[in-house]
Structure 1
């Protein structure tokens, strides 16, 4: 059974279990997830419903790879304003004369996982393995990501195959920073977070908000806050559930944020299909799933101690944000429950 078929079966099962009103569906989803802190939040035509374990709703959560839609939106905005172009050479962003052996990897290749780069740099694992269950990225800073990218030889010609890559999206973040001469945190704040009013969102731990405490797969062992090293663009975003809904609602109603409207529309357009029978559809930054009400868009993420799910369906005006403070494990209920809430009848 393919990945697509497995997730379809899980989503169908979750839909059956989560039938009912939004309140009932969210309550059932929270009960299904065994974690110290769980939040399922839903917006339907702008009306929000949030269900959470005690004290969890006001915390700020690590989103892991669900940060990538923020990076994709940033790229779309910078392309709209003329700071970069999708087909720009990523290596050229770091200087006028990139090494001659560097393949013509474009900014579009990096965000769509078609660059030919591996999931992580080859020299990443030696330093990461001793900290794999706590903070594997902390010891690999930005300059090493850039150096690894400029040395990398793609496994296949860029643009020909899809392979999910935290390395590629991280290199994209550094390329955008270099092209705009703006640090990553400031660039994300200026171009995405501030225009959307996301005051409960950050790319760093700490600050004024109370960060959720992550847990290992046993749901008991605490893990330290994520330190992302040089992989900010691939996984640095942390946010409150209400800020996650605000981010998703902006995708449902782009016209309400005029400065980002074109970019918000751009990240919804399909750009590639892959898999057997071209079953998987991707936009610039979202996974796309067909429904009876039109396409739905989603992205999942996980860190050493937390999980996140973001999804929205323009046809129904529905957005779902879910977070939990436990690292996923086999037969985990979190993602199927989130699927069920988003794709439920």
Structure 2
């Protein structure tokens, strides 16, 4: 799929029920949204489901599921975000660029193997975050190494040294920056490259640069257990699966968060607070890539961007072996939505479509 890169500061030129009832939160609830979110919960056949919405300063959360309510209420559990973690990684990179610690144009090879020649058309950090590095979705040998744990934790069998080595050995089929191909591999490499050049582990880097400044105390890359983390289930909705281990792909999918923290994260994008992240939060809305027929598909450095009747909506989905997430926001309506569930859905199941439709429709009365 060909694409056209757009200017990005410093670099780019070219998815009988048990109900928990209403959740309480510090902000006032939007009573008109309750029935719509309850219907959304009911539409998703999963052990645990949460739909959380922030609109014009009010928060409304509804939850339920096919399983009995857990000891810890569903809205208070931490859920695996999978690829929705990439929105945090994109914000992290943008902040580091705006603070002058990176430009985005650094060749990833130079970050990971100092002294090694980058070549005439190197893969840069900007290419990695925008999925234009010419990398496949996963390293070529990933499936062979992951196969023994394919139904439990395949990523755990492919740790960071394997990711880095696979990148250093890879030869892109296309010149970086000319084609778009969604790549967990690429964003994983980005995380390792940024960690190397800043001499800071990715876990600490994202915590220091994104999580703590936004007061996201219920978000992190490691499972805490002890009833704090939601338990994922397979496609049958009954078989529990182990907590997700991202292995060497933390920047591409390791984060866990509560619905409350996700609304805080999304609200910051709607109305960036004064402080060190304000400019970065606005910058990640900016289109940096258009692709497809007539360049209809628009991407920012962290989000998929689709048009609506009133303005653009920004969103990202994610899935692990046993959970799914969908997060997004619409500046024109002041609306943010986080949808989470503990089942790995098949293609065509309603979770992502329900969440997307709620945000696209604007959730107006």
TM-score (norm 2): 0.86
Q: How does 1:11-90 map to 2 (within 5 A)?
A: 21-53=32-64, 54=69, 55-90=73-108
Q: 1:230 aligns with which of 248, 271, 274?
A: 248
State the Cα deviation string for residues 224-255 of structure 1 (Å, max 9, x = none): 0001111000000100000011110010011x
Aligned: 1:139 with 2:150:
no
How many positions carry a matched residue from both structures?
Answer: 326
Structure 2 residue runs without a partner (length 5+) = 1-30
1:291 aligns with 2:302: no
Higher mean C-alpha deviation, range 99-108 or range 145-154? 99-108
In 1, Cα distance between equivalents of 2:100 and 2:184: 25
Instruction: Please show how residues 76-115 of structure 1 align to structure 2 within 5 Å.
Output: 76-99=94-117, 103-115=121-133
User: Is the contact between residue 200 and residue 209 of structure 1 (CA under 8 Å) also seen in structure 2?
Assistant: no
SS of equivalent to 1:309? strand
Give the one of 283, 292, 307 matched to 1:275.
Answer: 292
Tell me which residue corresponds to 1:301: 318
Contact kept? 1:39, 1:56, Cα under 8 Å: yes
Q: Is the 8 A contact 1:295 1:313 kept in 2?
A: yes
| Cα distance in 2 between the residues matched to 1:46 and 1:147 | 47
Q: Which moved more, 1:276-285 or 1:205-214?
A: 205-214
2:284 and 2:300 in contact (8 A); partners too: yes
Q: Name segments (4+ residues, structure 1) moved above 6 Å.
A: none
Q: Secondary structure at the match of 1:171?
A: helix
Task: State the SS of the aligned residue for 1:191.
Answer: helix
Question: Distance between the aligned counterparts of 1:270 and 1:277, measured in 2?
Answer: 15
CA–CA distance in 2 between the matches of 1:274 and 1:142? 31
- In 1, distance between residues paired with 2:121 and 2:148? 32
Match among 159, 177, 198 for residue 159 of structure 1:
177
Residues 39-86 of structure 1: CA deviation (Å, up to 9, x unaligned): 000000121000001431111000000000000000001101111111
Distance of 1:319 and 1:34 partners within structure 2: 23
Q: Which has the higher helix share?
A: 1
Corresponding residue for residue 263 of structure 2: 245
Distance between the aligned counterparts of 2:193 and 2:242, measured in 1? 29
Cα deviation digits, residues 259-313 of structure 1 (max 9, x gap): 1011111110001111122121000110001112211100000000000000000
Q: CA deviation at 1:99?
A: 4.5
Contact residue 113 and residue 168 of structure 1 kept, 8 A:
yes
Query: 2:301 & 2:244 partners in 1: Cα distance?
Result: 26
Q: Would the aligned equivalents of 1:83 and 1:179 in 2 still touch at CA under 8 Å?
A: no
Moved more, 301-310 or 286-295: 286-295
Deviation at 1:257, TM superposition (A): 4.2
Higher relative contact order (CA 8 A, sep 6+): 1
CA distance in 1, matches of 2:56, 2:120: 47
Instruction: Please report the TM-score for the alignment, with normalisation by the length of structure 1.
Output: 0.91
Deviates most, 130-139 or 231-240: 130-139
What is the RMSD computed on CA atoms of the aligned residues?
1.6
Unaligned runs of 5+ in 1: 1-19
